[in-house]
Amino acid sequence: MSTNKEHVDRALIRRCLDGEPRAQKELYERYSGKMYALCLRYCDNRDTAKDMLQEGFVRVFRSLANFRHEGSFEGWMKRIMVNQCIEQYRKEQSDPWFSDVQEAHHIGVDDHAFSRLGMQDLMRAVQSLPRGYRTVFNLYAIEGYTHKEIGIQLGISENTSKTQLLKARNMLKRIIAAMEGSSHG
Amino acid sequence: MDNQFDELFRNQLEHAEVPAPEGVWEAVSAQVATKAAAGTAGTALSGAVIKGAAALLIATASYLAYRAYTTEPQIEVQAQPQTNQTQVSKALPSPKVENALTTVPETAVQRPGKATGEAIAHTETIVCNGVDIADYETVPAKTEEPSGKQSTGQETQTGHTEQPCAWTRAFKARISAESARSVVHVHCLDSFAAGTLLTWFCNGTEIGKGQSIRYTVLNHRSVRMNLKIQLPTGCATDQEFGPMEIEGCDVDQNLLVPNVFTPNADGINDPYRVLICGAEQFQLSIFDRNGTRLFTSTDPDSGWDGRINGKTAPEGMYIAKLRYRFYGHQEQEKTTMLWLKGTLQH
């Protein structure tokens, strides 16, 4: 919303396109924290998230000329990062070590627990979801994709996306409960 | 209800910021810059010519710089001229190298056999503060570097120098990849005067200091090692080794943490094990949901068999907590939910 932010972005992009290395670094520093947090949400370890961030930024700089200033620059960048993470998801799909859990039971959760949990706890909870749940939850709950879009992006049916989301939510509740439990031990 | 739940996560995570790890910007800018350079340089040949010209410029500039500082002859150099004359070495005025930054007592040993003319590849004995720093076999700075050159570990050397010292030389290092562990052991074979700082870099990131270090290469198959040598005199040089291929893990990642296991003795995922390679330290603990510790191991090869005091653990969710450190990296912790399914039936 803030036009000032747009002005800064616009100026920075122009300088980048003019080939000014310092502008590229400024742009990186302006957004790398947010983009890294995004990558962390989609990955279960820092090394993969770091790779996503790196490859994502390379893409950002290489396709900077294609940015049409039609939406917010941050949103455009986020989409590139999300796509990077979705590609990684597809790559990891064939990995037998990460089989998704088939079942998830309802469990009572102390609602007050949530308010005590900070960004890091919630991030860790999302990271500890099985890959499929994590990806769907991120895309739906945080990025705001529809089930239809998720289905197309991940190559799954709309219904699978819905089921995965439900299971993700249930599991998050369990995880948060377990986190509370293990912190005493 | 579900919307509220999602919102809780969205509020905390949508605009979250986590400082990006070090080294990412360097890697990004290198890749973006490489692309641009490749576009303008055209052919590999013209690239090589440009490199050569740049090397000549650097050599000339550093000579002029050092020349401006020169006062007294302070480093004694013996040289036996050999072959391999190159353009770059012509920038060196004579084999007698002087360095204003050092002070050598007059007792420094004078040796006969000073060479004259434009010596290029020669053996120097460099006396610094009256001490022999080392015998180096120098090589001329390269005017071009064949692209795609592969060195397979062992002793590798290049003649890439770019610092205010007046000499051009190569140092030797032994780089060995400890097989199947992603660990690189680098060892500089030259010896230096006390106070010399040896700094190692792997793919552009500083990884440690010292004559000899071990480093776990994470998620890369090919590495380029750099050694920066800073003499107590202030002279510094940068040496590049590689690229070399790492014989690393069987997997692409150094750490794989399964989140499901089935201790049903079918031979698949039976003990719960973490796949880790290149770790200097490792500890795996398993907790139940009450936070009671059920299992601990510091050996990645020994996993949890899914039993508690000899009895089969019930199916359900457990917590696996990992602490590990790779060579040259900081200790890390990772906590994962672990689903135990398909227990052993009695």
Full-model pTM: 0.43
Q: Determine the distance in angstroms separating the CA of A12 from the nearest CA of chain B, rounded to an integer.
A: 16
Residue A57 has pLDDT above 80, yes or no: yes
Rounded-to-10 torsion of CA A5, A27, B35, A76: -40
Q: Label residue A107 left, alpha or beta by phi (over 0 means left) and psi (-120 to 50 means alpha).
A: beta
For residues B135-160, give the mean pLDDT.
36
pLDDT (0 to 100) of residue B138: 31
User: Which string of b and e fits B2-29 if b means at least 16 CB within 10 Å?
Assistant: eeebbebbbebbbebebebbeebbebbb
CA–CA distance, A150 with A156 (Å, rounded to integer): 8
Q: Does A184 touch chain B (CB under 8 A)?
A: yes
pLDDT (0 to 100) of residue B328: 85
Q: Which has more pLDDT, B175 or B142? A: B175
Number of H helices, E strands in chain A: 9, 0
Q: Which has more pLDDT, B69 or A145? A: A145
Contacts of A34 in chain B (CB under 8 A): 15-17
CA–CA distance, B128 with B101 (Å, rounded to integer): 10
Contacts of A75 in chain B (CB under 8 A): none
Q: What single-letter DSSP state applies at residue A64?
A: G
CA–CA distance, A174 with A55 (Å, rounded to integer): 33
Size of interface A-B (CB pairs under 8 A): 142
CA–CA distance, B43 with B188 (Å, rounded to integer): 35
pLDDT (0 to 100) of residue B109: 31
pLDDT (0 to 100) of residue B148: 36
Residue B126 backbone phi and psi in degrees, to 5: -105, 125
DSSP reduced 3-state for A50: helix
DSSP per residue over B211-224, as a string? SEEEEEPPS-SEEE
Confidence band (pLDDT; 50, 70, 90) for B274?
confident
DSSP reduced 3-state for B127: strand
